[in-house]
Amino acid sequence: MAIQGLDRLKRKLTVTIPDAVRKAARASLEKGANEIVTMMRALVPRDTGALAASIGWTWGDAPKGALTLGTVKNPREGDEYITIFAGTRDKSLGAADAYYVGFVEFGTKHAKPYPFFYPSYRALKKRVKSRNTREINKALKSAGIKK
């Protein structure tokens, strides 16, 4: 005796839901990353503007030499993670090379710190996580899986 609708259920569980959830999560993560980057750029001290210009986010790995918040990777999903970064280590940029990001964030023996990187993340982390959870739950609900 065959179960009616089993193929449809399998397709819904393996294709429809992951695609809907993935799209919702990606949009939510992008919005959160933009908010964090905007706050970082507002808080960073400006001299030449090179450090503010080096702040950004990307899907996958950050540029070489950039300070990152860290990443949470899903080994099955490839580049399905966002990395928020600041600073560079590219001598070809000349004066626009913001290699000193750590000196600004954490200070040195002779210069006090001007934190902008981690305070921005800490201030918005809860909002970003909550939005991500809401959007995923909304996607599951629209797929008819969650009430």
pLDDT value of residue 48: 83
Per DSSP bridges, beta strands 56-59 and 67-68 are unpaired
CA–CA separation, 136 vs 128, rounded Å?
12
pLDDT value of residue 47: 84
pLDDT value of residue 40: 94
pLDDT digits (tens, 9 = 90+) for 56-80: 998 888 877 777 766 655 555 555 7
pLDDT value of residue 1: 56
Is the predicted pLDDT of residue 82 greater than 70, yes or no? Answer: yes
pLDDT value of residue 35: 95
All structural domains of the chain with their residue ranges: 6-142
Rg (alpha carbons) of the chain, rounded to whole number = 20
Would you place residue 127 in the very low, low, confident or very high pLDDT band (cuts 50, 70, 90)? very high
DSSP H or E run through 56: strand 56-59
More confident residue, 5 or 29: 29
pLDDT digits (tens, 9 = 90+) for 13-46: 666 667 778 888 889 999 999 999 999 999 999 8
pLDDT value of residue 6: 76
pLDDT value of residue 73: 59
SS3 content of the chain, % helix, strand, coil (to 5): 55, 5, 35
